[in-house]
Amino acid sequence: MLVCKVPFCCKVLIQKKIQGGLTGFLRQEFRELEILDDITRLRYLGELPPSVSAVTRTALIRSYQLWKGTEHVPKTVHPSIEWSKHDLMNLVDKSEDASWQLLAKNQTRLPQPLDRSSDNPRKCKLAVM
């Protein structure tokens, strides 16, 4: 575990310097990366429940938030991007990802669309041609 030996007044200045120039989108990106890092750590340690799984990054972060709650902040998050009751990290929206379909040169109709009704990769049905 890293221990910061910088005095409190300097920590505040560093935090403002780092956080001051961040847009909300960039701060959200860093927060999501921290959650993904925690998911990786927990999976490596075998402490991640089966409910925290998904096909996409967004769905994986959402499943983690549903498990831990939106107020949970992993211990390794830097103070400049950590969230709290006053600076919430909202539940990541459930998003519909664009589906890709490959067509053969002589194919006259589109294959059946993919079933993306579930965030769980074990429940997703993929069209195989």
Domain boundaries, the chain: 9-96
Under DSSP, is residue 115 helix (H, G, I), strand (E, B) or coil? strand
pTM for the whole structure? 0.60
Cα–Cα distance for residue pair 52/65, rounded to 1 Å: 9
| pLDDT tens for the chain, residues 1 to 129 | 455 555 555 555 555 555 566 778 888 899 999 999 999 999 999 999 999 999 889 999 999 999 999 899 999 998 888 888 888 888 888 877 666 677 777 776 665 665 555 555 555 554 444
Residue 115's φ and ψ, nearest 5 degrees, are: -90, 105
